[in-house]
């Protein structure tokens, strides 16, 4: 299985699977197959409950008798040093799970790393992948893309994101909450997607009110999950901090 017979661990494979926004029916066929074939299932732990959500979405295809489920703790912090240590520990934890499953290093072991949305858009996988590449380069990594939360939110809201010549900006809401910055963005872009809007919702709503844009935006939380909340009339939205798995889309919409 390995390109070079002398390479131990050449047949250890890790696939990052984008589960999509939360509705198990929005997982791709390719993602389902990867989950079913895996002996090891890795999920991040702690980002506003993302762990249990990833497992919940994948539940129909998990077989706990045959598969080992490994939770990788990721702290809710912005401290670079703490994060770096956590990513390294996660990369090491991944490898230890492969080792525990295959002490000889000779078997073809497959692992999946499950995460919401798409793996390469604001996912927890990228920094762990980087550490994995540096510390354990023999594990082969592949990525299966997933439906993003903003595409799912737009579909639910019936809100076109872009036609022909439109421009779209995607950014974490925390960095663009003041009215001036938002106004500048909207000069250059037809649609602005503010990810993780919940925690800064009060300031975002105030900025939109100041710019008289409350009627050109909508808010979505935990799209596709049982707890989904879609608010088309922002005037009805309490200006209180809301969950992390949320977004606010400003734009022309159906105009």
What are the residues binding a second copy (CB under 8 A)?
18, 20-21, 23-30, 32-33, 78, 118-122, 126-127, 129-130, 141-148, 151-152, 154-155, 158-172, 174-175, 189, 254
User: What is the distance between the alpha carbons of residues 232 and 217, in angstroms, rounded to a whole number?
Assistant: 7
Q: How far is the CB of 12 from a second copy (least distance, A)?
A: 17
CB nearer a second copy, residue 169 or residue 214: 169
Least distance in angstroms from the C-beta of 106 to a second copy = 26
The closest of 150, 153, 200, 205 to 175, measured between CA atoms, is 200
Looking at beta carbons only, is 40 or 152 nearer to a second copy? 152
Q: State which residue, 60 or 239, has the beta carbon closest to a second copy.
A: 60
Backbone angles phi and psi of 33, in degrees to 5: -60, -45
Cα(251)–Cα(60) distance, rounded to whole angstroms?
A: 36
Closer Cβ to a second copy, 32 or 186, answer by number: 32
- Separation between Cα atoms, residue 18 and residue 227, nearest integer Å: 20
DSSP string, 71-111: EEE--S---HHHHHHHHHHHHHHHHHHHHHH-TTS-S--EE
**What tokens does 74 get?**
């990721």
CB of 238 to a second copy, least distance (A): 27
In the complex, the smallest distance separating the C-beta of residue 35 from a second copy, rounded to whole angstroms, is 12
> Do 45 and 73 form a contact (C-beta atoms < 8 A)?
yes
What's the closest the beta carbon of residue 104 comes to a second copy, in angstroms? 28
Which is closer to a second copy, CB of 83 or CB of 209? 83
């Amino acid at each position: 299985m390995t390109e070079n017979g002398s390479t131990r661990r050449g047949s250890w494979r890790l696939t990052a699977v984008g589960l999509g926004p939360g509705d198990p029916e929005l997982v791709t066929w390719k993602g389902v197959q990867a989950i079913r074939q895996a002996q090891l299932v890795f999920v991040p732990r702690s980002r506003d409950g993302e762990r249990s959500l990833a497992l919940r979405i994948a539940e129909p295809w998990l077989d706990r008798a045959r598969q080992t489920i490994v939770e990788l703790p990721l702290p809710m912090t912005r401290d670079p040093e703490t994060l770096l240590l956590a990513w390294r520990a996660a990369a090491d934890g991944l490898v230890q799970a492969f080792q525990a499953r295959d002490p000889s290093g000779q078997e073809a072991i497959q692992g999946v790393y499950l995460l919401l949305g798409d793996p390469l858009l604001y996912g927890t996988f990228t920094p762990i992948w980087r550490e994995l590449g540096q510390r354990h380069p023999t594990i082969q990594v592949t990525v299966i893309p997933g439906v993003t939360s903003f595409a799912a939110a737009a579909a639910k809201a019936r809100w076109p994101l872009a036609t022909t010549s439109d421009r779209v900006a995607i950014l974490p809401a925390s960095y663009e909450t003041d009215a001036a910055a938002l106004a500048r963005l909207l000069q250059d872009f037809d649609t602005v997607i503010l990810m993780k809007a919940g925690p800064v919702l009060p300031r975002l709503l105030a900025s939109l009110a100041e710019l008289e844009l409350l009627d050109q935006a909508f808010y979505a939380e935990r799209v596709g999950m049982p707890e989904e909340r879609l608010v088309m009339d922002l005037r009805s939205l309490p200006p209180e901090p809301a969950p992390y798995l949320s977004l606010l889309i400003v734009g022309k919409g159906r105009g």
